[in-house]
Amino acid sequence: MSKIDIVTINEIKTQTPSIKSLFFEWDKEIDPGQFVMVWIPGVDEVPMSLSHQEEVQGITVRNVGSATEALHEFEEGDKLGIRGPFGRGYSLVSDNVLAVVGGIGGASIRPSIVDLVSKSKNVKCALGAETKEELLFEDELSDLTHLHVATDDGTKGHEGFVTEIIEEMLHDIDCVITCGPEPMMQRTADIAAKKNVPVQASLERYMKCGMGLCDSCSINGYQVCRDGPVFYDDELKKMKEFGKFERDKSGRKVRLC
Protein backbone atom coordinates (compact mmCIF):
# COMPACT_ATOMS: atom_id res chain seq x y z
CA MET A 1 0.00 0.00 0.00
CA SER A 2 1.17 3.53 -0.70
CA LYS A 3 2.04 5.86 2.17
CA ILE A 4 -0.72 7.85 3.91
CA ASP A 5 -0.02 11.54 4.57
CA ILE A 6 -1.91 13.06 7.51
CA VAL A 7 -3.18 16.58 6.78
CA THR A 8 -5.00 19.13 8.95
CA ILE A 9 -8.16 20.83 7.69
CA ASN A 10 -7.52 24.57 7.88
CA GLU A 11 -10.64 25.92 6.15
CA ILE A 12 -14.10 24.64 5.27
CA LYS A 13 -16.41 26.26 2.74
CA THR A 14 -20.05 25.38 2.07
CA GLN A 15 -20.41 25.48 -1.73
CA THR A 16 -24.03 24.35 -2.16
CA PRO A 17 -26.69 22.82 0.14
CA SER A 18 -25.15 19.34 -0.50
CA ILE A 19 -21.49 20.16 -1.24
CA LYS A 20 -18.61 21.38 0.96
CA SER A 21 -14.91 22.03 0.24
CA LEU A 22 -12.27 21.08 2.83
CA PHE A 23 -8.89 22.82 2.47
CA PHE A 24 -5.48 21.66 3.76
CA GLU A 25 -1.78 21.88 2.94
CA TRP A 26 -0.31 18.85 1.13
CA ASP A 27 3.14 18.94 -0.45
CA LYS A 28 2.60 16.50 -3.35
CA GLU A 29 2.34 17.37 -7.08
CA ILE A 30 -0.84 16.14 -8.79
CA ASP A 31 -2.00 16.41 -12.41
CA PRO A 32 -5.49 17.83 -13.09
CA GLY A 33 -7.94 14.92 -13.15
CA GLN A 34 -5.85 12.53 -11.07
CA PHE A 35 -7.40 11.48 -7.74
CA VAL A 36 -6.47 10.64 -4.16
CA MET A 37 -7.78 8.13 -1.60
CA VAL A 38 -9.09 10.03 1.44
CA TRP A 39 -8.97 8.15 4.74
CA ILE A 40 -11.50 9.27 7.33
CA PRO A 41 -10.25 7.71 10.59
CA GLY A 42 -12.72 5.18 11.99
CA VAL A 43 -15.08 5.51 9.02
CA ASP A 44 -13.76 4.57 5.55
CA GLU A 45 -11.35 5.41 2.76
CA VAL A 46 -12.91 6.85 -0.43
CA PRO A 47 -11.67 8.19 -3.79
CA MET A 48 -11.82 11.97 -4.26
CA SER A 49 -10.60 14.43 -6.85
CA LEU A 50 -8.32 17.21 -5.63
CA SER A 51 -10.61 20.11 -6.58
CA HIS A 52 -8.07 22.74 -5.50
CA GLN A 53 -4.41 22.35 -6.39
CA GLU A 54 -3.08 25.89 -6.00
CA GLU A 55 -1.29 27.36 -2.93
CA VAL A 56 -3.76 25.47 -0.75
CA GLN A 57 -5.10 22.05 -1.67
CA GLY A 58 -8.69 20.94 -1.19
CA ILE A 59 -11.34 18.33 -1.82
CA THR A 60 -14.95 19.13 -2.64
CA VAL A 61 -17.42 16.62 -1.32
CA ARG A 62 -21.07 15.82 -2.06
CA ASN A 63 -22.84 14.24 0.90
CA VAL A 64 -24.22 10.92 -0.40
CA GLY A 65 -23.46 8.32 2.31
CA SER A 66 -21.56 7.48 5.48
CA ALA A 67 -18.04 8.56 4.43
CA THR A 68 -19.08 11.77 2.72
CA GLU A 69 -21.44 12.60 5.60
CA ALA A 70 -18.51 12.19 8.01
CA LEU A 71 -16.46 14.59 5.85
CA HIS A 72 -19.34 17.10 6.01
CA GLU A 73 -19.17 16.92 9.82
CA PHE A 74 -15.44 17.79 9.85
CA GLU A 75 -14.33 20.96 11.64
CA GLU A 76 -11.25 23.13 11.17
CA GLY A 77 -8.30 21.47 12.93
CA ASP A 78 -9.55 17.91 12.27
CA LYS A 79 -7.17 15.53 10.50
CA LEU A 80 -7.59 13.15 7.60
CA GLY A 81 -5.30 10.84 5.62
CA ILE A 82 -4.41 11.28 1.95
CA ARG A 83 -2.94 8.54 -0.27
CA GLY A 84 -1.86 9.18 -3.84
CA PRO A 85 -1.94 10.76 -6.35
CA PHE A 86 -3.36 7.98 -8.51
CA GLY A 87 -4.44 7.38 -12.09
CA ARG A 88 -4.32 9.30 -15.34
CA GLY A 89 -5.67 12.85 -15.55
CA TYR A 90 -6.79 15.00 -18.49
CA SER A 91 -4.49 15.74 -21.43
CA LEU A 92 -4.65 19.54 -21.70
CA VAL A 93 -3.01 20.43 -25.01
CA SER A 94 -5.89 21.87 -27.07
CA ASP A 95 -6.42 25.61 -27.63
CA ASN A 96 -10.23 25.63 -27.60
CA VAL A 97 -11.80 23.43 -24.96
CA LEU A 98 -15.42 22.79 -23.95
CA ALA A 99 -15.90 21.54 -20.37
CA VAL A 100 -19.23 19.75 -19.82
CA VAL A 101 -19.86 19.51 -16.10
CA GLY A 102 -22.69 18.00 -14.08
CA GLY A 103 -23.22 18.11 -10.31
CA ILE A 104 -20.12 17.21 -8.30
CA GLY A 105 -18.16 16.71 -11.57
CA GLY A 106 -16.85 20.26 -11.13
CA ALA A 107 -14.53 18.93 -8.41
CA SER A 108 -12.61 16.90 -10.99
CA ILE A 109 -12.74 19.47 -13.82
CA ARG A 110 -11.96 22.70 -11.91
CA PRO A 111 -8.13 22.24 -11.83
CA SER A 112 -8.09 21.59 -15.60
CA ILE A 113 -10.00 24.81 -16.26
CA VAL A 114 -7.65 26.77 -13.97
CA ASP A 115 -4.64 25.22 -15.79
CA LEU A 116 -6.02 25.93 -19.29
CA VAL A 117 -6.94 29.51 -18.46
CA SER A 118 -3.45 30.11 -16.94
CA LYS A 119 -2.04 29.07 -20.35
CA SER A 120 -4.38 31.56 -22.13
CA LYS A 121 -6.46 28.80 -23.76
CA ASN A 122 -10.10 29.45 -24.68
CA VAL A 123 -12.45 27.58 -22.39
CA LYS A 124 -16.22 27.32 -22.73
CA CYS A 125 -18.12 25.61 -19.94
CA ALA A 126 -21.57 23.99 -19.90
CA LEU A 127 -22.55 23.62 -16.24
CA GLY A 128 -25.56 21.61 -15.12
CA ALA A 129 -27.26 20.84 -11.82
CA GLU A 130 -30.68 19.90 -10.49
CA THR A 131 -31.38 23.42 -9.17
CA LYS A 132 -29.64 26.82 -9.23
CA GLU A 133 -28.52 26.35 -5.60
CA GLU A 134 -26.58 23.21 -6.63
CA LEU A 135 -24.55 24.87 -9.45
CA LEU A 136 -21.01 24.15 -8.21
CA PHE A 137 -18.32 26.87 -8.62
CA GLU A 138 -20.74 28.93 -10.78
CA ASP A 139 -19.23 32.36 -9.92
CA GLU A 140 -15.65 31.22 -10.44
CA LEU A 141 -16.45 29.43 -13.70
CA SER A 142 -18.30 32.51 -14.90
CA ASP A 143 -15.10 34.56 -14.32
CA LEU A 144 -12.78 31.99 -15.94
CA THR A 145 -14.82 30.69 -18.88
CA HIS A 146 -17.54 31.44 -21.37
CA LEU A 147 -20.24 29.86 -19.17
CA HIS A 148 -23.65 28.45 -20.10
CA VAL A 149 -25.88 27.01 -17.40
CA ALA A 150 -28.69 24.44 -17.35
CA THR A 151 -30.85 23.33 -14.42
CA ASP A 152 -33.28 20.40 -14.35
CA ASP A 153 -36.00 22.54 -12.74
CA GLY A 154 -35.33 25.66 -14.83
CA THR A 155 -34.47 27.88 -11.84
CA LYS A 156 -31.39 29.16 -13.76
CA GLY A 157 -30.37 29.06 -17.42
CA HIS A 158 -31.74 26.43 -19.78
CA GLU A 159 -34.50 24.25 -18.28
CA GLY A 160 -33.43 20.64 -18.83
CA PHE A 161 -30.26 18.58 -19.15
CA VAL A 162 -26.91 20.28 -19.75
CA THR A 163 -26.39 18.05 -22.81
CA GLU A 164 -29.25 19.92 -24.49
CA ILE A 165 -27.14 23.11 -24.73
CA ILE A 166 -23.79 21.74 -25.89
CA GLU A 167 -24.37 21.20 -29.60
CA GLU A 168 -24.23 24.93 -30.39
CA MET A 169 -21.27 25.39 -27.99
CA LEU A 170 -19.15 22.88 -29.98
CA HIS A 171 -18.46 25.43 -32.73
CA ASP A 172 -14.64 25.99 -32.99
CA ILE A 173 -13.94 23.49 -30.19
CA ASP A 174 -10.90 21.12 -30.49
CA CYS A 175 -11.54 19.00 -27.39
CA VAL A 176 -14.30 18.25 -24.87
CA ILE A 177 -13.55 17.35 -21.26
CA THR A 178 -16.41 16.09 -19.14
CA CYS A 179 -17.21 14.90 -15.63
CA GLY A 180 -20.61 14.25 -14.08
CA PRO A 181 -23.33 11.60 -14.12
CA GLU A 182 -22.30 8.85 -16.54
CA PRO A 183 -25.39 9.03 -18.79
CA MET A 184 -24.60 12.77 -19.19
CA MET A 185 -21.02 11.96 -20.21
CA GLN A 186 -22.19 9.26 -22.64
CA ARG A 187 -24.63 11.70 -24.30
CA THR A 188 -21.86 14.31 -24.45
CA ALA A 189 -19.54 11.81 -26.15
CA ASP A 190 -22.26 10.92 -28.69
CA ILE A 191 -22.93 14.59 -29.55
CA ALA A 192 -19.21 15.41 -29.83
CA ALA A 193 -18.59 12.32 -32.01
CA LYS A 194 -21.14 13.59 -34.56
CA LYS A 195 -19.00 16.76 -34.90
CA ASN A 196 -15.71 14.79 -34.84
CA VAL A 197 -14.57 16.50 -31.64
CA PRO A 198 -12.44 14.29 -29.34
CA VAL A 199 -13.68 13.70 -25.79
CA GLN A 200 -12.04 12.93 -22.46
CA ALA A 201 -14.39 11.72 -19.69
CA SER A 202 -13.62 11.10 -16.03
CA LEU A 203 -15.34 7.91 -14.82
CA GLU A 204 -16.32 6.87 -11.31
CA ARG A 205 -16.39 3.30 -10.10
CA TYR A 206 -16.44 1.81 -6.60
CA MET A 207 -12.79 1.71 -5.43
CA LYS A 208 -11.02 -0.15 -2.63
CA CYS A 209 -7.25 -0.04 -3.24
CA GLY A 210 -7.03 2.84 -5.73
CA MET A 211 -3.91 1.34 -7.29
CA GLY A 212 -4.73 -1.60 -9.58
CA LEU A 213 -4.73 -4.43 -7.02
CA CYS A 214 -8.34 -5.36 -6.15
CA ASP A 215 -10.15 -4.96 -9.54
CA SER A 216 -13.27 -3.54 -7.85
CA CYS A 217 -13.18 -0.59 -10.28
CA SER A 218 -13.09 -2.62 -13.51
CA ILE A 219 -15.10 -1.69 -16.59
CA ASN A 220 -14.82 -3.91 -19.67
CA GLY A 221 -11.17 -4.81 -19.14
CA TYR A 222 -10.04 -1.38 -17.89
CA GLN A 223 -9.34 -0.47 -14.28
CA VAL A 224 -10.67 3.02 -13.60
CA CYS A 225 -8.14 3.66 -10.81
CA ARG A 226 -5.09 2.73 -12.90
CA ASP A 227 -6.04 3.21 -16.59
CA GLY A 228 -8.31 6.23 -15.82
CA PRO A 229 -10.18 7.83 -14.22
CA VAL A 230 -9.93 9.95 -17.41
CA PHE A 231 -10.57 7.98 -20.61
CA TYR A 232 -10.41 9.01 -24.27
CA ASP A 233 -13.22 8.43 -26.76
CA ASP A 234 -11.53 5.47 -28.49
CA GLU A 235 -11.42 3.73 -25.09
CA LEU A 236 -14.97 4.77 -24.13
CA LYS A 237 -16.28 3.25 -27.38
CA LYS A 238 -14.86 -0.13 -26.32
CA MET A 239 -16.67 -0.02 -22.94
CA LYS A 240 -20.07 -1.68 -23.33
CA GLU A 241 -20.91 -0.72 -19.71
CA PHE A 242 -20.12 3.01 -20.18
CA GLY A 243 -23.26 5.03 -19.41
CA LYS A 244 -25.28 1.87 -18.78
CA PHE A 245 -23.95 -0.25 -15.89
CA GLU A 246 -21.75 0.07 -12.80
CA ARG A 247 -20.70 -2.40 -10.07
CA ASP A 248 -21.96 -2.19 -6.49
CA LYS A 249 -19.76 -2.76 -3.42
CA SER A 250 -20.07 -6.56 -3.82
CA GLY A 251 -19.06 -6.38 -7.51
CA ARG A 252 -22.62 -7.05 -8.79
CA LYS A 253 -23.46 -5.37 -12.10
CA VAL A 254 -26.26 -2.80 -11.65
CA ARG A 255 -27.96 -0.56 -14.20
CA LEU A 256 -27.17 3.18 -13.97
CA CYS A 257 -30.26 5.36 -13.58
Q: Judged by CB under 6 A, does residue 209 bind ligand FES?
A: yes
Smallest distance, ligand FAD to C-beta of residue 135, A: 15
Q: Which does 204 bind (CB under 5 to 8 A by kind): ligand FES, ligand FAD, none?
A: ligand FAD
Q: Which does 44 bind (CB under 5 to 8 A by kind): ligand FAD, ligand FES, none?
A: ligand FAD
User: Bridge-partner residues for 146, per DSSP?
Assistant: 124
Smallest distance, ligand FAD to C-beta of residue 146, A: 24
Which lies closer to ligand FAD via its Cβ, residue 204 or residue 241? 204
Q: Judged by CB under 6 A, does residue 61 bind ligand FAD?
A: yes
Q: Which does 67 bind (CB under 5 to 8 A by kind): ligand FES, ligand FAD, none?
A: ligand FAD
| Phi, psi at 243, each rounded to 5° | 80, -5
Q: Which of 112, 99, 109 lies closest to 188 in space, CA to CA?
A: 99
Which residue in the set 19, 116, 207, 219 belongs to the binding site for ligand FES (CB under 6 A)?
207
CA dist., res. 204 & res. 124, Å (int):
23
Instruction: Decide: 201 and 235 in contact? Cβ < 8 Å.
Output: no
User: Bridge-partner residues for 37, per DSSP?
Assistant: 47, 83
Residues 216-235 that bind ligand FES (CB under 6 A): 216-217, 223, 225
Which residue in the set 162, 205, 219, 230 belongs to the binding site for ligand FAD (CB under 6 A)?
205
User: What burial letters (b/e) apply to 113-148, b meaning 16+ CB within 10 Å?
Assistant: bbbbeeeebbbbbbbbbeeeebbbbbeebeebbebb
CA dist., res. 229 & res. 199, Å (int):
13
| Contact footprint for ligand FES (CB under 6 A) | 207-210, 212-217, 223, 225
